[in-house]
Structures are given as C-alpha cells and as structure tokens.
C-alpha cells in the first residue's frame, strides 16, 4: 500500500488525509500541538456558493451536499446581506451582479438587522443560501476518518528536513522521522517553505493577515438570527457569534508565516466602517485575533502533484475558502493522486492544478 505523508493538520491536510486514507497508509504531521491551530481555527466559517473565482465556485457547489448531509450535516442557515450608502452605488451594483444576490428594500434590511441606520444605508441586497459551518465538527470528522482507516495523526512536530531519493521521502522534525512514497504539502502559510525544504520551487503562495474583533451584541438585541452583513467590496463584515458579533476590517496584508495577531489600526478602521452603518456605537471589544489566509498569485487553490516531482503533492492556497471547499477539494486531490477521473469539469481542474503556476 502506498505510504503518504501529509504535512499540515488544518482543514486542508485533514480533509486530504481522510480521502487519501481510503486507499493509502497516511500519516498527518502537524507542527503545532493542536489541530486546526492557525487559519482553520480562526475562520469566519461561512459557505456561499457564489464566493470566489469560477474554480472555487465549482468546488463550493461540489462540497454542499457533503456539508449538508454527512454525519448529520455541518450547516446552519445564516444568510448574507450587503448594505451601502448612495456614494457607493457603483460598487454596490458591481457586488450585486458578481454575487448574484437580490436587491431588497432598506425596510427589509432593517427587519433583518434592526440597528442599521436608515440615514446612512440607502441600498441593500440579500442572499438566503449562505450557511454557517460547524468547523470544529468538520475538522474532527475528517480526523476520525483518518484514524478509522488506520492512519496516524501526530502533533507538535515542525518539519525541518525533507529529502526524496530512490523513490522514497524522508522527513524529519527535531524529535521525529517519517518515510513515505508521497508527500502532501498542506502547510498553509508555510507551503512555499515546505517546498523549499523539499528542493522544489515555491509557487508564490503568500499569507495575508485577516484581523477580527468580537464585540458585545448591541444592547437589547438578540443577534442570533441576524445574517452576516458587510460593506461594498467586502470592505468590512459583521457576523453573529455565540450571542456576540464578529467584526472584521477584511484586511489582507501580506506577511511572513507566523502565529498571527490582530492589527490594531486595521481593527479600528473596520470598527469605524461598521459604526457608520449602525445606530449603536461599539462600547466594548470582548476579544480580538487574526488568522493567515494564504493565496497563490491567481487567488485560487493549488491541488495536485507537482509537475517537476509528482511524488510531491500540493494542497495549498486555500485563501479564505478552505472550509467551504474542503469536501470537494480533498476528493479532487485524491482523484488526481490516484489517477482517477475527477468529478468536476476539466476546465476548472486545470485552473486548480499546480502546472498553471510553473
């Protein structure tokens, strides 16, 4: 049986390992002491099928059935809404056309989010088919599948050496050593670094910081049924979270791979944009954090064997789409590894393979 090493224990690595473990002996190696520590554990966790490039949308559509039905389903209806002022009419029209959402009246928007300021908000659009994803259950579900299929998951081992010779990989951390026939690079923000360790050229995958504030719900309001709502060009967004609100400036500052923290100036700007559209000021920030969204140059995922060394497999560049695409992206990866016909169309497969970036 083929032995496959998967570097990375976030949603990319665990979902890939779960699919591959059906036909291979799989070991997942995670640098941190916990699974899903970085981007996967800091996700806003929403699926909206019209989000992303065409190839990402194809993965979204192919993932929905799994997310809705597997293991009782991982989705809860949320909905999303765009709000805008007169000055943003052109950008609002562009967002409506790009996302396929429906224009609604300001009165309808205020019925969904009662704190909207009618003096500022003059346009709104709505899409019901957007759902929260139970990210912890999804991660743990893929981990259970790996173990049930005889695979192994080890944490607390940051890979510092990788070599391929005589048809076999040897990888090492300061405290461990593993061998395998194939190596899957699901290292998120560290994907190009892992490629360099393996003697391969990187693909220009760059992590970008996304900051998040958790604020108290506006006094007297139960936000549990509110949709996710945001400004034009996704300049900021707000989303209910366990009785509070998450507010993000939707920042995407390129950074070096690291354990990210929120940027205070970006948070202040995001909260100011949020306050422009509501009647209730932000009185208290409960907490804040940041995650790293890692993008390839064309801002879509990189899935499949490296053209220079097919025993090195890319599962990288998830950006902000990792959770919502995981079921289909991992299935496509397994199909490409085992030379099976993919379930999505050839044009989108080509847009996802690493060859496009060489």
CATH code of residue 261: 3.30.9.10
User: CA-to-CA distance for 56 and 210, rounded, in angstroms?
Assistant: 19
CB-based burial label for 37 (10 Å; 0-12, 13-18, 19+): middle
Q: Cβ(192)–Cβ(202) under 8 Å?
A: yes
Give pLDDT, residue 335. 98
Please state, in angstroms and rounded to a whole number, the distance separating the CA atoms of residues 20 and 9: 14
- Decide which of 271, 295, 319 is a domain's last residue: 295
Question: Residue 45's pLDDT is what?
Answer: 80
Confirm whether 75 is domain-assigned.
no
Question: Cα 109 to the chain's mean position, in Å?
Answer: 27
> Would residue 249 count as lying in a domain?
yes
Q: Do 214 and 97 reside in the same domain of the chain?
A: yes
Residues 63 and 9 in one domain: yes
Work out how many domains the chain is built from and give that number. 2
Question: Are 184 and 306 within one domain?
Answer: yes
| Secondary structure percentages of the chain, helix, strand, coil, to 5 | 35, 30, 35
Same domain, 200 and 210: no
For the chain, first and last CA: distance in Å?
31
Residue 53 phi, psi dihedral angles, 5° rounding: -65, 165
Whether residue 226 is found in the same domain as residue 273: yes
Closest CA to 48 of 64, 36, 72: 64
With respect to residue 180, please indicate whether it lies within any of the assigned structural domains.
yes
Q: Is residue 118 located within the same domain as residue 248? A: yes
In a domain, 21, yes or no: yes
228, 291: one domain: yes
Q: What is the DSSP string of 216-230?
A: EPPTT---TTPPEEE
CA gap 39, 52 in Å, rounded: 17
In whole angstroms, what is the distance from residue 334 CA to residue 69 CA? Answer: 21
Same-domain check for residues 163 and 115: no
103: which strand partners? 125
Which ranges constitute the DSSP H helices of the chain? 11-20, 54-69, 89-99, 106-112, 135-148, 191-197, 264-276, 322-337, 346-352
- Residue 50 within a domain: yes
* Domain encompassing residue 271: 80-127+206-295
What span, in angstroms and rounded, lies between the C-alpha atoms of 279 and 91? Answer: 23
Whether 93 and 225 share a structural domain: yes
Residue 234 in any domain: the answer is yes
Domain shared by 170 and 270, yes or no: no
Distance in angstroms (rounded) separating the CA atoms of residues 335 and 355: 16
Residues 235 and 167 reside in one and the same domain = no
In a domain, 74, yes or no: no
**Residue 233, by phi and psi: left (phi above 0), alpha (psi -120 to 50) or beta?**
left
Instruction: Among 257, 273, 295, give the residue marking a domain's end.
Output: 295
With contact defined as beta carbons under 8 Å apart, do 244 and 216 qualify?
yes
| pLDDT value of position 220 | 81
Query: What local confidence, expressed as pLDDT, does residue 84 receive?
Result: 98
* Whether 46 and 98 share a structural domain: no
Residue 121 lies in a domain: yes
Token pair, residue 222, equals 């139960």
**pLDDT averaged per 10 residues, the chain (length 358):** 97 98 98 79 75 93 97 96 97 93 97 97 96 95 98 97 97 97 97 97 96 92 96 95 94 92 93 96 92 95 97 96 96 98 96 96
Question: What CA–CA distance (Å, rounded) separates 343 from 153?
Answer: 28
Region label for 103, one of left (φ > 0), alpha (ψ between -120 and 50) or beta (otherwise): beta
Which CATH number goes with the domain that contains 307?
3.50.50.60
């Amino acid at each position: 049986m083929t032995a496959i090493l998967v570097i990375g224990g976030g949603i990319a690595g665990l979902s890939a390992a779960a699919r591959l473990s059906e036909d291979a002996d799989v070991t997942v190696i995670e640098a941190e002491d916990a699974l899903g520590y970085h981007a996967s554990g800091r996700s806003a966790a929403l699926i909206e099928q019209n989000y992303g490039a065409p190839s990402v949308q194809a993965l979204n559509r192919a993932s929905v059935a799994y997310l809705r039905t597997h293991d009782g389903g991982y989705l809860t209806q949320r909905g999303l809404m765009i709000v805008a002022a007169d000055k943003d009419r052109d950008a609002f029209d562009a967002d409506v056309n790009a996302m396929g959402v429906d224009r609604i009246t300001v009165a309808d928007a205020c019925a969904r989010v009662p704190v909207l300021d009618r003096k500022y908000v003059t346009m709104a659009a709505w899409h019901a088919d957007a759902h929260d994803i139970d990210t912890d259950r999804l991660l743990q579900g893929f981990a259970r599948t790996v173990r049930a299929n005889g695979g192994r998951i080890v944490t607390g081992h940051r890979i510092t050496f990788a070599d391929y010779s005589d048809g076999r990989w040897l990888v090492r951390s300061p405290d461990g050593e593993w061998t395998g026939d194939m190596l899957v690079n699901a290292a998120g923000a560290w994907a190009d670094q892992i490629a360099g360790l393996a003697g391969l050229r990187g693909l220009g995958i760059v992590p970008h910081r996304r900051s998040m504030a958790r604020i108290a719900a506006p006094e007297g309001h139960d936000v549990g049924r509110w949709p996710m709502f945001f400004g034009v060009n996704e300049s900021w967004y707000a989303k209910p979270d366990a009785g509070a609100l998450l507010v993000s400036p939707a920042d995407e500052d390129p950074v070096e791979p690291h354990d990210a923290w929120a940027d205070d100036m970006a948070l202040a700007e995001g909260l100011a944009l949020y306050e422009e559209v509501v009647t209730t000021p932000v009185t208290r920030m409960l907490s804040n954090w940041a995650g790293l969204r890692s993008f390839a140059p064309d801002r879509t995922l990189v899935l499949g064997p490296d053209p220079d060394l097919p025993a090195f497999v890319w599962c990288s560049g998830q950006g902000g789409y990792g959770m919502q695409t995981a079921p289909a992206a991992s299935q496509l990866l397994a199909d490409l590894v085992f030379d099976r016909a993919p379930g999505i169309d050839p044009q989108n497969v080509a847009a996802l393979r690493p060859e496009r970036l060489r």
